[in-house]
Homo-oligomer: A and B are copies of this chain.
Amino acid sequence: MKEKKENFNEWYNEVIEEAKLIDKRYPVKGMNVWLPYGWAIAKKMDEILRALMFETGHEEVYFPLLIPSDQFAKESEHIRGFGGEVFWVERGGNEKLDIPLILRPTSETAMYPMFSLWIRTHGDLPLKVFQIVNVFRYETKQTRAFLRVREIHFFEAHTCHENHEDSEKQINEDINIWEKFCQKMALPYILNKRPDWDKFAGANYTIAADTIMPSGRPLQIGTMHSYGQNFSKAYDIMFTKENGSRDYVYQTTFGISERIIGAIVGIHGDDRGLILPPEIAPYQIVIVPIISGDKEMIINESRKLYEEIKDEFRVKLDDRDDYTPGYKFYDWELKGVPLRIELGPRDIKNNVITVARRDTFERITIQRSEMLPRLKEILNEIQRNLRERAYKNMYSKIKEAKSIDDIKSNEDVNLIHWCGSKQCADIIDQESGKKVLGIPLNIEKKNGKCLICGKETDNLCYIGKPY
């Protein structure tokens, strides 16, 4: 395998292929086959999201894939933003369709005509729904597994509220859900309020969660949008207030995609392959019997061990006959299983197990009698360590910059003073290829001068070359 530090892009492609997450040989560009191991990770992610959404009173729905083009065109900003990158269905069987259909690039325009039928009074609000579906975008840029594809595994939540304040509270709830979610993914991120020219097509504002990949390039991995009444006016989503007057609802959305898996691969992995956070790993523990001497006894003891822990953890017993322990170590390290248990004659005799951490390679001997709590402890420690390490790495990829030369001297994200004008952002882009990620949330303001025009400003912002 390529060294991650030497050539991140090649390493990334290689590890995805060798760990058997997806197969890129499907004969349509940017559409990949999810192999069992990759799909198991995606399903785990979905499950975690579902639980978080149900906890916060969202309901799960499923809207059709195909959207009539006349519905799609109703919100003018939205169609301007997405119109050029949708797949069109204009023929069914041998018949030309009366109204051309598009494959959902996102589901506002599928959902909102229905919301307009569902919502009558304030009693119907808030409406909080989500769906987990695939969306389709006719990408013309170079595609890259998980990061830029044409069929995207996607989570989208849509909410309607009585007033602006309630929709703001929803965005805050989304931010809380997002933090809990990222804890489970062990992913670090910064939140940025995108500049107006980079917000979601049809939104009043967009808050994006960006992480930074080992290449130094930022990757947008989650977004929360406030739509105000832009869509509700276009789709006629009205409600009767308590006082009898009528108003349009205030809307938000919250989106997460398979890019999360790309981030997990890129951020946690190492030269031996994937490292999966225990919370999302399809297998948290793999048991590898170390055959020496009485083979049958060792296999039986391994099965017993498996039975003892399988209700507490997601465990794989690798009792394949025709592979050496060394090959199995290699294989499960490549697949990023967080914890390996080796069980050999000496372990059995001494009533212990030997575990090896995937994140630190540390080997620990555990008494069988203390096994369950100790394994739990170590998995928690791995989860914690991965996140801490990822945060440290992310911050090491952020460099303060005072001049265009500073910016051009590295490929990483820079923290700069920026006056807020598009003009200055454009100059930065032209000079360095780096883009303003927006105004960061959760950062202390500091007086300074715009790096381009020199104007006094307390706006700090991140810039980088996004995926």
Contacts and interface: CB of A to CB of B under 8 A. Distances in A.
Contacts of A28: 64, 66-68, 101
25 contacts: A25-B114, A25-B117, A26-B113, A28-B66, A28-B67, A28-B68, A33-B63, A33-B114, A34-B63, A36-B59, A39-B60, A39-B61, A39-B62, A40-B60, A62-B153, A64-B151, A65-B136, A66-B87, A85-B92, A87-B89, A87-B92, A88-B91, A89-B103, A90-B90, A90-B91
Contacts of A326: none
A1 interface: no
Contacts of A117: 23, 25
A140 interface: yes
A94 interface: yes
Interface of A: 23, 25-28, 31-36, 39-40, 42-43, 59-68, 71, 84-95, 101, 103, 110, 113-114, 117-118, 129, 134, 136, 138, 140, 151, 153
A194 to B, nearest CB: 23
B62 A33 contact: yes
A122 B289 CA distance: 26
A89 to B, nearest CB: 5
A71 to B, nearest CB: 6
A69 to B, nearest CB: 11
Central interface residue in A60, A64, A136, A153, by most chain B CB within 10 Å: A64
A60 to B, nearest CB: 6
Indicate how many identical chains form the complex: 2
B36 A114 contact: no
Contacts of A64: 26, 28, 31-33, 151
Contacts of A101: 28, 87
A27 B116 CA distance: 13
A48 to B, nearest CB: 15
A17 to B, nearest CB: 13
Given A23-B117, A26-B63, 8 more contacts: A27-B113, A36-B60, A65-B103, A66-B87, A87-B92, A89-B103, A90-B91, A95-B138
Closest 7 CB pairs of A and B: A92-B138, A34-B62, A31-B64, A36-B59, A88-B91, A93-B138, A84-B93
B88 A89 contact: yes
A421 B61 CA distance: 47
B85 A93 contact: yes
Nearest to A40: B60
Contacts of A40: 60
Contacts of A140: 93
A85 B91 CA distance: 10
Contacts of A39: 60-62
Contact of A27 (B65, B68, B93): B68
A211 B101 CA distance: 35
A64 to B, nearest CB: 4
A40 B131 CA distance: 12
A258 to B, nearest CB: 11
Contacts of A85: 92-93
A51 to B, nearest CB: 13
Contact of A88 (B27, B92, B129, B136): B92
A66 B33 contact: no
A86 B95 CA distance: 10
Contacts of A71: 27
A38 to B, nearest CB: 9
A87 B94 contact: no
Nearest to A71: B27
Contacts of A88: 89-92
A113 B27 CA distance: 9
Contacts of A94: 84
Indicate the member of A25, A84, A87 with the most B CB atoms within 10 Å: A87
A65 B113 contact: no
A72 to B, nearest CB: 11
A271 to B, nearest CB: 27
A388 B190 CA distance: 58
Given A25-B117, A26-B63, A93-B86, A129 B36 contact: yes
A432 to B, nearest CB: 29
A71 B62 CA distance: 29
A86 to B, nearest CB: 7
A23 B63 CA distance: 10
Contacts of A67: 28
